[in-house]
Amino acid sequence: MLVDPEEVDPSEVYRMMVQVITPRPIAWVSTCSQAGVTNLAPYSYFNGICSKPAALMFSAVNKPDGSLKDTVVNIRETGQFVVNAVPFQLAQPMVKTAAPLNYDESEFDCSGMTEIPSQRVGPPSVAESPIQMECELLDSLSVGDGPFAATVVIGKILLICIDDLLLDQAGTIDPSQFDVIGRLGGKDYCRTTKRFEIP
Ligand SMILES: Cc1cc2nc3c(=O)[nH]c(=O)nc-3n(C[C@H](O)[C@H](O)[C@H](O)COP(=O)(O)O)c2cc1C
């Protein structure tokens, strides 16, 4: 099968891309509006960029009406955000935070997650998440415009907060304790419980 994205409906291209680019890690992004309303939403078009400066990126696809998602509006206003990790036990509350709430409503409330103050940035972190990366906006790039287009957000990581319970005796993260999830196509997710090593 050959697929030319220019000749296929964008919703179908999206369906294929999330089946092809897989598994994807999930950035659970907490932000705060200038008025002080907090926001929490998952983004799986997410990855690291480099380590000097320590930087990461995620991509927020525009809302169906072509407008920016609340997360992007907040980050452009305040220049700050936190990427919280999503272990398996937080999968259900994470999905609740994808609800398209009004701008003046916080997904912390509908998901039952707890806001705790971050150390280097204004937006709160998710208390229940075992890893948080506090970031400041380095740059944002519009890719296309209107529905199905997106904003790529590039953040400089100011601080990585890791729950000591995840660490092994050597002080590195033990993946069997982390149990992080990834997103596949459609309704599917995966866990990192099945791993193999290549020396
Ligand atoms: C697991 C998961 C991953 C998601 N990944 C993305 C993504 O990479 N980009 C995106 O624009 N929306 C993604 N979404 C949808 C957003 O979370 C959803 O549109 C949310 O309402 C955006 O919230 P906001 O407007 O408060 O920023 C994802 C949803 C889920 C459940």
> What are the pocket residues of ligand 1 if the criterion is a CB atom closer than 6 Å to any ligand atom?
26, 39, 41-45, 59-61, 69-71, 95, 98, 100, 183
Select from 69, 73, 104, 140 the residue to mutate for testing ligand 1; criterion: most ligand atoms less than 8 Å from CB.
Answer: 69
Contacts of 95 (CB under 8 A, 6+ apart): 42
Q: Which residue minimizes the CA distance to atom 14 of ligand 1? A: 43
pLDDT at 103: 93
Select from 24, 29, 39, 43 the residue to mutate for testing ligand 1; criterion: most ligand atoms less than 8 Å from CB.
Answer: 43
Domains of the chain: 5-191 (2.30.110.10)
SS3 180: strand
pLDDT at 52: 98
pLDDT at 129: 98
Q: What pLDDT digit, counting tens, does each position of 44-68 carry?
A: 999 999 999 999 999 999 999 999 9
Does residue 137 contact residue 95 with C-beta atoms inside 8 Å? no
Q: Which uninterrupted H or E stretch holds 110? A: helix 107-111
pTM, to two decimals: 0.98
Instruction: Return the ligand 1 atom nearest residue 40 CA.
Output: 26
- Arithmetic mean of pLDDT, 78-106: 97
Give dist(CA 41, CA 63) in Å, integer: 13
DSSP bridge partners of 191 = 181
- Arithmetic mean of pLDDT, 121-147: 98
- Nearest CA-CA partner of 122 in 79, 68, 76: 79
pLDDT at 109: 94
Taking the centre of ligand 1 as the mean of its atom positions, its distance from the CA of residue 125, in whole angstroms, is 18
pLDDT at 74: 98
Q: What pLDDT digit, counting tens, does each position of 11-33 carry?
A: 999 999 999 999 999 999 999 99
Q: Which uninterrupted H or E stretch holds 17? A: helix 10-20
Q: What pLDDT digit, counting tens, does each position of 160-185 carry?
A: 999 999 999 999 999 999 999 999 99
